[in-house]
Amino acid sequence: MEFLVASSVGVLTAAGVYLLLRAHTFPVVLGLTLLSYATNVYLFATGRLAINAPPLIDAQVARYTDPLPQALVLTAIVISFGMTALLVVMALRSWSASGDDHVDGGPAAPGTAPEDRR
């Protein structure tokens, strides 16, 4: 099971980095989303799943589920949602100002006309 979780985090991270390195805004947004998913899976996996254990620390209970990774994942979900919304708004503003969805605002390929880039 550890190999499956580790490989899924690795695949999500690799796909996210690959999409972040693309030159258009939509793949960048998807790449950030995949990276946030990889972070959430990693944070959740650090808590170790304890079946039928209460999530509270009590003196009488020998086993308990660690609530910290769950709280970290919830916080990471909220932060990634806000970051994605900000990135989409910035991409829309850049597209409306330049008429292109290229990340740096330049042409998609050297020597192409602006009407060929759409």
The predicted structure's pLDDT at residue 33: 92
The one-letter amino acid at 28 = V
Beta-carbon contacts of residue 74 (< 8 Å; ≥ 6 apart): none
Q: Are 108 and 99 in contact (CB under 8 A)?
A: no
The predicted structure's pLDDT at residue 104: 72
The answer on pLDDT for 116 being more than 60 is no
The residues spanned by each domain of the chain are: 2-106
Task: Kindly report the pTM of this predicted structure.
Answer: 0.73
Region 89-107 average pLDDT: 80
**Residue range 60-77, pLDDT digits in tens:** 667 777 778 888 899 999
The top-level CATH class assigned to 2-106 is mainly alpha
